[in-house]
């Protein structure tokens, strides 16, 4: 392998004995070095890798991080790869998995030569197009060639499409953990527009799928990492299911067509596609707005017609109201005249009442004066009565009784009315 331009694949492995030998062989054929982190494999993965040490494999590191026992420490693995990228001597690095093979997007060009081309063109990062190969039978064995055993693939899911996992060593700080290992993030990143090819072999058979998904991966994911949206690739798997796929549901793989695909569907085309999708969405939104406005216009036309009808009714009501107002004004004028007449009558009655009141006051005054006179006369009568009573009870009155009898007889004898002797004497 050339030493003047060196690319190291930072690979992590856990129980990949059936495939890692072919992955390392493929990397060596592409002139790519490998630094392997073995996360406690128990299936002989270490034994398979041992012959590759110093023959493409720089080191096999027994990676046993602290933390939750039995967990799958993905964030710590990514952090260790970041450390290695800062300490190892290489021109470029690849964040690599043990179940994948990476190829140049150009025929008859090794992965190393393709990365050199990208370097010369002034880019410092590479994205990959993922081809997920699925088993269509349960016949795969470790000695079988991957390209022959797995001939059908499906595109990556939306959450797995971003694969900026190859970058130039510019002594910069690289962050692999920002999106759970889906991209190498760093300042002044310039991603090559054409994606390279990533052939991914996650499941190799029914037994392997059950072992990997349900016993070695899904129940070992750390909850805190799941909360960050990591490890979504196995969420749709169920315990009772077949991992063997019908070829009719997949696409047959052709390397030339794959290279043509990545050339045509480059990152710029993705931008155009995204712009087109955004334009289509915007157009659909505008169309929906237009339809809504058209419906609103129809509603307004109907509302206008209804309003015109209401306006005609209101106009008729207004005319009737105006006639009623005229009648009310005439009635008001009549009432005002009646009020004035009533006010005049009230003034006249008040004058009469005032005169009557004066008369009553004068009459009352006269009655008071008359009463006073009557009281005075009554007092005089009482005084006279007292004198008469005193006279009648006096001795002189009793002594003169015979004489008064004589006078009465004489008056009776005379019969001259008021000219009697008694009256004269009295």
What mean pLDDT is predicted for residues 86-103? Answer: 96
Task: Give me the pLDDT at residue 268, please.
Answer: 77
Radius of gyration of the chain (CA): 64
Over the chain, what is the mean pLDDT?
88
What mean pLDDT is predicted for residues 181-187? Answer: 95
| Most trustworthy range by pLDDT among 124-128, 176-180, 386-390 | 124-128
| Residue 131 banded pLDDT, cuts 50, 70, 90 | very high
pLDDT at 187 over 60: yes
| Residue 388 banded pLDDT, cuts 50, 70, 90 | confident
What mean pLDDT is predicted for residues 98-110? Answer: 96
Task: Give me the pLDDT at residue 195, please.
Answer: 97
| Residue 291 banded pLDDT, cuts 50, 70, 90 | confident
Spans of all domains in the chain: 7-265, 399-425
Which has the higher per-residue pLDDT, 203 or 301? 203
What mean pLDDT is predicted for residues 355-375? Answer: 87
Question: Containing H/E element for 401?
Answer: helix 401-414
Dist CA 328 CA 308 (whole Å):
29
Task: Give me the pLDDT at residue 210, please.
Answer: 93
pLDDT at 425 over 60: no
Identify the DSSP state of 57.
E
Task: Give me the pLDDT at residue 416, please.
Answer: 58
Least confident of 55-64, 178-187, 270-279: 270-279
What mean pLDDT is predicted for residues 37-66? Answer: 90
Q: Is 109 exposed, middle or buried (0-12, 13-18, 19+ CB in 10 A)?
A: middle
What mean pLDDT is predicted for residues 278-283? Answer: 66
Task: Give me the pLDDT at residue 218, please.
Answer: 87
**φ and ψ of 27, to 5 deg:** -60, -40
- What the block records as the tokens of 6 is 């060196």
Which has the higher per-residue pLDDT, 10 or 270? 10
pLDDT at 81 over 90: yes
Percentage of the chain exceeding pLDDT 90: 49
Which has the higher per-residue pLDDT, 268 or 191? 191
| Strand ordering across the sheet containing 100-103 | 100-103, 196-200, 128-133, 152-155, 251-252
Dist CA 171 CA 163 (whole Å):
21
Task: Give me the pLDDT at residue 1, please.
Answer: 45
What mean pLDDT is predicted for residues 48-70? Answer: 84
What mean pLDDT is predicted for residues 67-93? Answer: 89
Specify the CATH number for 7-265; select among 3.30.70, 3.90.550, 2.60.98, 2.60.40. 3.90.550
Dist CA 134 CA 206 (whole Å):
11
Residue 225 contacts residue 231 (beta carbons within 8 Å) = yes
Task: Give me the pLDDT at residue 44, please.
Answer: 92
pTM, full prediction: 0.65
What would the DSSP string read from start to end of 119-181?
A: HHTT--EE-EEEEEE--SSS---TTS-HHHH--EEEEPPGGG---B-EEE-SS---BSTTTTT
Least confident of 85-94, 250-259, 363-372: 363-372
Residue 202 contacts residue 146 (beta carbons within 8 Å) = no
């Amino acid at each position: 392998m050339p030493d003047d331009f060196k690319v190291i694949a930072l690979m992590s492995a856990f129980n990949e004995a059936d495939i890692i030998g072919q992955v390392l062989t493929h990397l060596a054929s592409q002139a790519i070095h490998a630094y392997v982190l073995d996360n406690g494999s128990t299936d002989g993965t270490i034994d398979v890798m041992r012959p590759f040490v110093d023959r493409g494999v720089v080191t096999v590191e027994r990676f046993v991080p602290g933390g939750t026992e039995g967990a799958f420490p993905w964030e710590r693995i990514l952090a260790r790869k970041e450390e290695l990228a800062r300490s190892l001597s290489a021109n470029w690095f690849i964040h690599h998995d043990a179940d994948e093979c990476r190829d140049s997007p150009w025929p008859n060009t090794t992965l190393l030569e393709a990365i050199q081309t990208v370097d010369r063109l002034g880019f410092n990062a590479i994205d990959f197009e993922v081809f997920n190969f699925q088993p269509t039978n349960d016949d795969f064995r470790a000695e079988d060639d991957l390209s022959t055993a797995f001939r059908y693939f499906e595109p990556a899911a939306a959450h797995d499409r971003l694969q900026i996992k190859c970058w130039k060593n510019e002594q910069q700080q690289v962050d692999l953990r920002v999106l759970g290992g889906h991209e190498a993030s760093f300042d002044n990143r310039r991603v090559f527009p054409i994606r390279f090819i990533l052939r991914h072999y996650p499941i190799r058979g029914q037994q392997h799928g059950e072992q990997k998904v349900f016993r070695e991966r899904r129940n070992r994911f750390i909850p805190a990492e799941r909360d960050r949206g990591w490890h979504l690739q196995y969420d749709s798997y169920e315990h009772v299911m077949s991992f063997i796929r019908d070829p009719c549901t997949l696409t047959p793989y052709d390397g030339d067509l794959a290279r043509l695909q990545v050339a045509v569907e480059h990152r710029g085309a993705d931008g155009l596609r995204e712009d087109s999708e955004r334009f289509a969405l915007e157009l659909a939104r505008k169309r929906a707005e237009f339809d809504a406005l058209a419906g609103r216009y129809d509603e307004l036309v109907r509302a206008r017609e209804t309003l015109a009808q209401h306006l005609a009714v209101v106009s008729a009501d207004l005319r009737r109201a105006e006639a009623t107002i005229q009648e009310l004004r005439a009635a008001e004028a009549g009432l005002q005249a009646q009020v004035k007449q009533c006010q005049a009558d009230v003034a006249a009655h008040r004058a009469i009442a005032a005169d009557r009141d004066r008369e009553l006051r004068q009459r009352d005054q006269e009655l008071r004066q008359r009463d006073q006179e009557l009281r005075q006369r009554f007092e005089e009568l009482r005084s006279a009565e007292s004198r008469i009573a005193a006279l009648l009870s006096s001795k002189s009155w009793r002594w003169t009784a015979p004489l008064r009898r004589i006078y009465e007889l004489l008056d009776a004898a005379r019969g001259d009315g008021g000219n009697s002797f008694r009256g004269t004497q009295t």
